[in-house]
Amino acid sequence: MTQLELARDGTLSAAMRAVAEEEGLDPEQVRSGVADGSIVIPANINHKGVEPCGIGTGLRTKVNANIGTSSDHGDANTELEKLQAAASAQADTVMDLSTGGDITAIRRAIIASTSLPLGTVPLYQAGIKAIDRWGSIVAMPVDHLFAAIQEQAEDGVDFMTVHCGVTQKAVSRLRQSPRVTDVVSRGGAFLIGWMLHNDQENPLYEHYDRLLDIARRYDVTLSLGDGLRPGSLSDASDRPQIEELLTIGELVERSREAGVQVMVEGPGHMPLDQIATNVQLEKLVCKGAPFYVLGPLVTDVGAGYDHISAAIGGAIAAAYGADYLCYVTPSEHLSLPEPKDVREGVIATRLAAHAGDIVKGVKGARDWDLKMSIARKNLDWQEQLRLALDSTRATESRAQHDTSGSGCSMCGQYCAMELVAEYLGTRPVQC
Amino acid sequence: MTQLELARDGTLSAAMRAVAEEEGLDPEQVRSGVADGSIVIPANINHKGVEPCGIGTGLRTKVNANIGTSSDHGDANTELEKLQAAASAQADTVMDLSTGGDITAIRRAIIASTSLPLGTVPLYQAGIKAIDRWGSIVAMPVDHLFAAIQEQAEDGVDFMTVHCGVTQKAVSRLRQSPRVTDVVSRGGAFLIGWMLHNDQENPLYEHYDRLLDIARRYDVTLSLGDGLRPGSLSDASDRPQIEELLTIGELVERSREAGVQVMVEGPGHMPLDQIATNVQLEKLVCKGAPFYVLGPLVTDVGAGYDHISAAIGGAIAAAYGADYLCYVTPSEHLSLPEPKDVREGVIATRLAAHAGDIVKGVKGARDWDLKMSIARKNLDWQEQLRLALDSTRATESRAQHDTSGSGCSMCGQYCAMELVAEYLGTRPVQC
């Protein structure tokens, strides 16, 4: 039985208990969230040693790091290094988006070496093997796609991005609503090529029940991908994007009926004042399904700093209800990330998630900031460095210069904290 | 006559024309904004060669970089290096917050070598000289403070932070509303020490007319500092902060009556859902005076990444009407910034300002993103790198790996842009 089926049956699984303990919540709250679909716990029955991670309403906003080879670069060792970088920066989950080298071997190496829940996009493997075997992705037989899904489910993949909402109807809306950047999702692009060439419906939509069967067997959580997500501010919140979301909403309900855990992916590139609306729309149209957003990037011109652009959008999204942020690295739009980019991306996204959690009222979020502020007031540097989002970086930065005072080298002898304590007569505060 | 007096007289000054040209606006719009106080143009009559920079409603959100020595570190050469870093990263203005070494000499060296408008906090110089001469800031005579203001005005400082709103009444509210981090503004702390020790009113409030006289003579723009800004999320939007804002609102009106340009400084540390409210409150209480915010930082735990925390808060503030963002560097709360930190801080803040300008509808803001997206769609790399917020960084990042396709090494041969153009039959787009 899947976590969803167990929860509906009133069973408190070990995974639900673990999530509740990690979040400091009543296990019953987690069970009830899984039962109504507002929480998912991606944990394939074949992923030995996976640490259950809850994603959804009332829980800490989670952070995903994408790793994986491209056709140009990367091998299993490099990807394992990136996996290590993501884990040490405290990503909650990892996705392997490999499209180069021995995709199956790389995925198996990653699964074997991490307890983080792992996600994939099986269409990448299917499409690239189709190109190898038949010269083009459009020649891919439907069975070949489902064989890749089956193989990955058996291997223990915990959640899969499947672009089921890219239907012929959505493509038709796309033709009627010209975009600046058309389609920027690789999965979406693969499928649209296949659909137009073969004049057939999206196989992931057409054969959705077949997908549900596999997902249910291994308790793979479906992550309904947004193949038509906007790739520029100009295209944000347009009719093709919302058309796809409506279909995804229907597929969420079918997934839940089948006992399959499901979440929904969101944009993309978006002016910051559209983010709250997009989150609310997803929650309404998709009946409270956990929302997994990529960015959103609040400007198109930040190449080299898209982790910051995404942190701005991600913080706002999380504050208004997004449950899960996919990181963006500084190399987005420019090159395949290196391990150092992975670290920067994870930390910036964790910062955004936490800023959102403060607003959401997630348990423990404000306490962390309060403890830091008390340590700051007390000029307790050991505690400040310990509590910093990234203690390593904070420690390095503090060591950049010596200081003569008990503050830091920025204000030297003239630390406001010290001056005011003297004149206002305030005392060190307690937590 | 000050720019404000000229504008009220109906005169279109060279500075107003220059600002209008830079912003692509009708000069009359700029004149009318300066006349009603919703725009300031900090340009001391003694700052030779200063490039006028407009700050306020309808204009591009501006970015300030703080440089300056501390009692522990820095000399004129280091500060000139930071000035260069700020200018090359395209900061709009610079503040010299030096509190160590020969403060006067450093300031004069900076003024002589930059065409960017320069701001200072004269109280730092006055207070530190008082410590040297009389052993303590509390022994500072009022005339000594005004002598520093006079000297800096004569030297050509374009705008000055003056914490005039830290009144005895505000200190009394502070005592009645305990805080986690009391006072984190150095200027605020200096003044509170002086006021409590001498049992006198804040001299910058008590002798505000004297300040206005000097400011009017040199057309120094007053930046009414928030000595009681919150230094932690817990203290945000509390009664002491708002009490100070009310006084500042009154002082804005007195400044305008005296023909002195004036803007208002804002917090600080703040949960992201309070930012829009704070911006609106400032605009109402201070009768549309330009709002100059520090951050706001949306979490207290980001030490090492406070430029990102500030970019999140700054983007939201700008989107809801803040006019001017003071950068925060990655070394905030930890150490005096180095030139590399200055660069990171300026770029992150420019990104935030631009994300806000997109929402504000600032002229040209969306066009920039549109041009970038069109270049992206056309896989025109030269143009993408040229249009990037930081072309140098974007170029380095792209060069991180070779690519076999016409896209980038992230997707290699499987670039969605290429795939879709093939199947949807879309053509390169024109601007």
Return all residues near B374 (Cβ < 8 A) that are at least 6 apart. Answer: A180, B429, B430, B431
Mean pLDDT score, B378-405? 91
List the Cα angle A68/A73/A79 in 5-degree steps.
35
Is residue B431 scored above 80 in pLDDT? no
Whole-model pTM? Answer: 0.97
Q: Does B390 touch chain A (CB under 8 A)?
A: yes
Q: Closest Cα of chain A to B299: distance in Å? A: 6
The torsion angles phi and psi of B324, rounded to 5 degrees, stand at -155, 125
Encoded tokens for B238: 């509390």
- Cβ of A99 within 8 Å of Cβ of B422? The answer is no
Q: Is A306 on the interface with B (CB under 8 A)?
A: no
Residue whose C-alpha is closest to residue A93's, from A113, A73, A116, A110: A116
Asked if A354 has any chain B CB less than 8 Å from its own CB, the reply is yes
Return the closest-CA partner of residue A124 out of B183, B413, B285: B413
Which residues of chain A are within 8 Å of residue B229 when distances are taken between CB atoms?
A: none
Residue A427 has pLDDT above 80, yes or no: no
Confidence class for position A126, pLDDT limits 50, 70, 90: very high
- B203-B204-B210-B214 Cα dihedral, nearest 10 degrees: 140
pLDDT at B67: 97
| Rounded-to-integer distance, Cα A119 and Cα A221, Å | 9
Q: Say whether B397 and A197 touch across the interface (CB within 8 A).
A: no
Phi first, then psi: give them for residue A74, nearest 5 degrees.
105, 145
Residue A271 CA to residue A180 CA, distance in Å, equals 15
Distance from CA of A9 to the nearest CA of B (A): 38
Peptide bond preceding B268: is omega within 30 degrees of 0, i.e. cis? yes
Note whether B217 contacts A: Cβ–Cβ < 8 A.
no
Q: How confident is the model at residue A411 (pLDDT cuts 50, 70, 90)?
A: confident
Rg (CA), chain B: 23
- Residue A74 binned pLDDT confidence (cut-offs 50, 70, 90): confident
Number of H helices, E strands in chain B: 19, 10
| Residue B189 in this model has a pLDDT that exceeds 70 | yes
User: Mapping DSSP to helix (H, G, I), strand (E, B) and coil, where does residue A194 land?
Assistant: helix
pLDDT value at residue B404: 73
Tell whether the torsion through CA atoms of A8, A12, A17 and A20 is positive or negative.
positive
* The amino acid at B335: S
Q: How many CB atoms are located within 10 Å of the residue B265 CB?
A: 24
Phi and psi dihedrals of A326, rounded to 5? -85, 130
| A415 and A425 Cβ atoms separated by less than 8 Å | no
User: What's the mean pLDDT in A18-27?
Assistant: 98
Instruction: Test B71 with A271 for CB contact under 8 angstroms.
Output: no
Angle at alpha carbon of residue A123, lines to A120 and A128, rounded to 5°: 110
Report whether A79 contacts B419 (CB < 8 A).
Answer: no
To the nearest 10°, the Cα dihedral for B339, B342, B346, B347? 60
Contact B369 A232 (CB under 8 A): yes
Interface test with B, best of A360, A420, A427 (most B CBs within 10 A): A420
Q: Please, what is the angle between helix A142-155 and helix A122-134, to 10°?
A: 130
Which tokens in the block code for residue B336? 């005096």
The span from the CA of B285 to the CA of B192, in Å, is 24
User: How many residues belong to chain A?
Assistant: 431
- Confidence band of A423 (pLDDT split at 50, 70, 90): confident
The token duo for B131 is 């410590």
The pLDDT confidence band at residue B419, using thresholds 50, 70 and 90, is confident
Q: Residue for token digits 């269409």?
A: A123
First to last CA, chain A: 44
**pLDDT surpassing 80 at residue A380:** yes
What is the mean pLDDT of the segment spanning A174-200?
95
Report the amino acid identity of residue B164: C
Decide: helix, strand or coil at residue B224: strand
Of B280, B263, A330, B274, nearest to B295 by C-alpha is: B274
Model confidence pLDDT, tens digit, residues B142-170: 999 999 999 999 999 999 999 999 999 99
Average pLDDT across chain A, whole number: 95
H or E segment to which residue B359 belongs: helix B339-360
Query: Is the Cβ pair A398, B305 closer than 8 Å?
Result: no
Q: CB of B98 within 8 A of CB of B106? A: yes
CA distance B405 to A265: 27
Residue A329 · residue A307 · CB < 8 Å: yes
Closest CA relative to residue A394, chosen from A339, A338, A361, A351:
A351
Q: What is the pLDDT of residues B19-47, one digit of tens each?
A: 999 999 999 999 999 999 999 999 999 99
Phi–psi pair at B397, nearest 5 degrees: -65, -40
Mean pLDDT, all residues of chain B: 95
Contact of B190 with chain A, judged by CB distance below 8 Å, is answered with yes
A 48-87 residues with CB < 8 A to B: 70-73
Q: Count of residues for chain B? A: 431
How far apart CA A390 and CA A405 sit, in angstroms, is 24
**pLDDT > 80? residue B428:** no
Dist CA A359 CA A341 (whole Å): 28
The pLDDT value recorded for residue A419 is 78
In three-state form (DSSP H/G/I as H, E/B as E, the rest C), the secondary structure along A202-262 is: CHHHHCHHHHHHHHHHHCCEEEECCCCCCCCHHHCCCHHHHHHHHHHHHHHHHHHHCCCCE
Which pLDDT score, from 0 to 100, does residue B59 have? 98
List the beta bridge partners of residue A293. Answer: A266, A325
Token reading at B134: 């009389």
Scored b (16 or more CB within 10 A) or e, B223-252 reads bbbbbbbbbbbbbbbbebbebbbebbbebb
Answer whether A180 sits within 8 Å of B331, measured CB to CB: no
Q: Which residues pair with B161 in a beta bridge?
A: B223
Asked whether the beta carbons of B423 and A197 are under 8 A apart, the reply is yes
CB contact (8 A) between residue A412 and residue B99: yes
Cβ–Cβ below 8 Å for A348 and B305: yes
CB B139 within 8 A of CB B189: no
B296 vs B310: CA distance, rounded Å: 5
Please state the rounded mean pLDDT for residues A15-21. 98
Is residue A404 pLDDT above 80, yes or no? no
Whose structure tokens read 């299993």? A76
Residue appearing with tokens 């290429």: B418
Q: Does A307 score more than 80 pLDDT?
A: yes
Tell me which of A142-146, B70-74, B200-204, B220-224 is least confident.
Answer: B70-74
- CA-to-CA distance for B24 and B54, rounded, in angstroms? 12
Contact of A288 with chain B, judged by CB distance below 8 Å, is answered with no
CA distance B223 to B297: 20
Q: Which residues of B25-44 are buried (b: 16+ CB within 10 A; e: fewer)?
A: bebebbbbbbbbbbbbbbbb
Alpha helices per DSSP H over A258-338: 275-285, 306-319
Query: What's the pLDDT tens digit per position in B266-308?
Result: 999 999 999 999 999 999 999 999 999 999 999 999 999 999 9
* Rounded Cα distance, B230 and A416, in Å: 12
Q: Which of A24, A26, A53 is nearest to A39 (CA)?
A: A53
* N-term to C-term CA, chain B: 44
The pLDDT value recorded for residue B309 is 98
DSSP state of B379: T
User: Which residues in chain A touch residue B72, judged by CB atoms under 8 angstroms apart?
Assistant: 401-405, 409, 412-413
Average pLDDT score over residue span A256-280: 98
Read out DSSP for A69-81? --SSS--HHHHHH
All domains of chain B, ordered by start, with CATH? 3-360 (3.20.20.540), 365-424 (no CATH)
CA-based nearest distance B348→chain A, Å: 7
pLDDT digits (tens, 9 = 90+) for B335-375: 999 999 999 999 999 999 999 999 999 999 999 999 999 99
CA A265 – CA A406 distance, rounded (Å): 47
Identity at A12, one-letter amino acid code: L
Q: Comparing C-alpha atoms, which of A268, A263, A320 is closest to residue A295? A: A268
Residue A429 pLDDT level (bands cut at 50, 70, 90): low
